[in-house]
Structure 1
Amino acid sequence: MTVAKGYAAESSDSGLAPFEFERREPRPDDVSIDIDYCGVCHTDIHFVENDWGATVYPVIPGHEIVGRVTAVGPEVRNYQVGDVVGVGCMVDSCRSCSACEAGLEQYCLEGMTATYNGKDRHDESVTYGGYSNHVVVSERFVVKVPEKLDSATAAPILCAGITTYSPLRHYGVRAGHKVGVIGMGGLGHMGVKFAKALGAEVTIFTRSESKVAEAKKQGADHVIVSTDREQMKAAAESFDFLLDTVPVQHDLNPYLNCLTFDGTHILVGLLEPVEPALQAGALVGKRRVLAGSLIGGMPETQEVLDFCAEHDIECDIEMLDIHNINDAYQRMKKGDVKYRFVIDMKSLT
């Protein structure tokens, strides 16, 4: 065991505070990593505040981790001391089911092991995340950060990036397709960048007229203010794909009507029941598909980092001193960040 430092929440209303804990001893296939940067995801807030009723306290969030390798186990083949590497939303899986064998560990039939608030498959200890100074992770769940990428802006690619990249690739988005991106936060702005790089014509749906200029600045070809009935009416049956990044309940029905026949509406942000009720006729009458997608497997997570390096894509971030993490959470709840907070771990003292 090694003593580590981090920030943890010890109850649903405690906020985050400095916390010392023990990291497990490295196993033969493990990579030990000193953490340089960790992105802040809205999921972190849900776990800190126990919004989903599944938090095990104390909880140390963080699953957008970039750092440098400090040691490798004797069975490690792909990494060496000094490598810049990343760790995303999972640190293990059964490794033998059909999903894992297909490189889709996020859909492991036995359930993936989350980077934090998960249960270690070997010793049943609770996993602790990247709001800390170092981490120990199996080689299979570590990815290389290309030299061309800035380490800080690369961190959110490990969640916000792969979450939006994976469904666009899975459903075959390419030149000639019309893609609508619903929501313009950490996920949404990455979805725009990926869809554009894949050659699609991209439209952002936003609820606010005040965000139109910013949406175009992000690279959108068009902007639709979804609260404007005339604009939504004009958009009817015009999109091949909708990438829905909104993390709270919202009415899907007006958006479904914007799809062509055989169009696909992909949920990547909503984990709650659909409310209000879905009008199934909008699906049946046009053979439309309502789909969901969860992060990406390890091969695809490496792929998205390489894709970002090739296409000069990075996440727009605001650097954060970890001592201000509780204030940052409040700002995130208000949508007051463009577009992802990243913690500079040098501030962890």
Structure 2
Amino acid sequence: MAAAPKFEGWLGKDAESVKGKMEWGPYEPKKWTEDDVDIEISHCGVCGSDLHTLRSGWSPTPYPCVVGHEIVGKAVRVGKNVSHIKVGDRVGVGAQARSCLQPDCAECSAHKESYCAREMIATYGSVYPNGEGKSYGGYADYNRTNGHFVVAIPEALASEDAAPMLCGGITVYSPLKMNGCGPGKTVGVVGVGGLGHFAVLFAKALGADRVVGISRKADKRADALQLGCDEYIATDEDQGWDKKHQRSLDLVVCTVSSAKMPLTGYLGLLRTHGTFIQVGAPDSGEMPPINAFTLIGSGVKVGGSAIGSASSEIPEMLQLAADKKIKPWIQPVDMKDANKTVVDMEDGKARYRYVLVNSNYGKH
């Protein structure tokens, strides 16, 4: 049996760490079981969730933490109970590290592990039950995760491209697929950013007839059209946008998270019985109020979506990306510069996804 690797990474020790004050150091991963896989990390995407966790934005973070849940690397230790991964495989881990995985769980038994109500262990910042330890993420040399949530990376996908798909990509792919994105459908994407640019790429790859990018300002219009949008709406600058485009979309995926967003206008873009899906998650969780007559008047539906299933949707998404040669817009940076990258991410400089590249990879 392979020896346990030495776990070191960028530790966030308090809420100030989001200001570029993470510290590199050792930590103790969860206790090893034969259900686990140890991964030597080559790449890790930088997600907005990392910032929320570093500053305890969603809930108090159990410091110290190592964030990062868009992990790609090599399996270096594989538990006896893991059959779909072997040592040496190139693998990935997204935002979930474990669920209850019991056969009597309605969610886990139906490939809906990300909605399991019994146990939801995130890739970082979660405390395992029964004294097993804590989950630590991918701004590090190694990661340890339950094998059920470790996926093989298709050979045709570059590691730096696959990494941000494991959270940013699947967060929008899942609701697009679940809500019928495909030929004959028109899709709106609110927020052309880290998540939104993936939504455009995947909506086109799934065959949507028309994709409309929606953002406050016009400065991303050229990018949106280059990504594949057929049209672009700048809600702060295009006068009468809500009337002009009224009832023109079948599905809207909203990646922004502001209590001040023009939600009534967004809902008005939907055709009769259209669907609005929220994936952006603000620190406060607040959304603008919804007028009941906005829903009743056109029979629209409002819902939400979390990350997708590691056992079904993530492999399906990765294969689609490989088959369709989807190329996300990424900015590779050395993991040694993680602190600066977090600050740049907070300042909105990403176009559209930072990916940390581990210069320690293969040197252990």
Q: Is this a same-fold pair by TM over 0.5?
A: yes
Matched to 1:88, the amino acid is G
Alpha-carbon contact 2:29-2:133 (below 8 Å) kept: no
- Give the corresponding residue for 1:338: 351
- Shift in Å, 1:344: 0.7
Matched to 2:215, the amino acid is T
- Shift in Å, 1:347: 5.5
Alpha-carbon contact 2:30-2:132 (below 8 Å) kept: no
- Give the corresponding residue for 1:189: 197
Counterpart Cα distance in 1 of 2:5 and 2:183: 50
1:106-155: CA deviation from partner (whole Å, max 9, x where unpaired): 10021311110112245341111111111122221110100000001100
1:77 and 2:83 aligned:
yes
Taking structure 1 as reference, are residues 169 and 276 closer, same or farther at Cα in structure 2, changes over 3 Å only?
A: closer
Taking structure 1 as reference, are residues 136 and 285 closer, same or farther at Cα in structure 2, changes over 3 Å only?
A: same
Counterpart Cα distance in 2 of 1:280 and 1:336: 37
Counterpart Cα distance in 1 of 2:143 and 2:69: 11
- Shift in Å, 1:53: 2.9
Q: Which of 33, 36, 42 in structure 1 is aligned with 2:48?
A: 42
- Give the corresponding residue for 2:174: 166
Question: After the TM superposition, which of the residue ranges 298-307 and 140-149 deviates more from structure 2?
Answer: 298-307
% identical equivalent positions? 38
Alpha-carbon contact 1:26-1:32 (below 8 Å) kept: no
Q: Which of 268, 271, 277 in structure 2 is aligned with 1:257?
A: 268
- Shift in Å, 1:76: 2.0
Q: Which of 260, 281, 284 in structure 2 is aligned with 1:270?
A: 281
1:94 and 2:100 aligned:
yes
Question: After the TM superposition, which of the residue ranges 13-22 and 108-117 deviates more from structure 2?
Answer: 13-22
1:234 and 2:210 aligned:
no
- Shift in Å, 1:318: 0.5
Counterpart Cα distance in 2 of 1:52 and 1:25: 26
Question: After the TM superposition, which of the residue ranges 130-139 and 179-188 deviates more from structure 2?
Answer: 130-139
Counterpart Cα distance in 1 of 2:61 and 2:162: 27
Counterpart Cα distance in 2 of 1:4 and 1:210: 42
- Shift in Å, 1:2: 4.8
- Give the corresponding residue for 1:147: 155
- Give the corresponding residue for 2:6: 3
Alpha-carbon contact 1:323-1:347 (below 8 Å) kept: no
Taking structure 1 as reference, are residues 51 and 25 closer, same or farther at Cα in structure 2, changes over 3 Å only?
A: closer
Matched to 1:184, the amino acid is V
Counterpart Cα distance in 1 of 2:341 and 2:178: 33
Matched to 2:145, the amino acid is V
Q: Return the TM-score normalized by structure 2.
A: 0.92
Structure 1: where are the runs of 5+ without partners? none
1:156 and 2:164 aligned:
yes
Taking structure 1 as reference, are residues 235 and 347 closer, same or farther at Cα in structure 2, changes over 3 Å only?
A: farther
Counterpart Cα distance in 2 of 1:307 and 1:325: 30
Structure 2: where are the runs of 5+ without partners? none
Matched to 2:173, the amino acid is Y
Counterpart Cα distance in 1 of 2:31 and 2:286: 43
Matched to 2:255, the amino acid is T
- Give the corresponding residue for 1:180: 188
- Shift in Å, 1:209: 1.7
Alpha-carbon contact 1:208-1:225 (below 8 Å) kept: yes
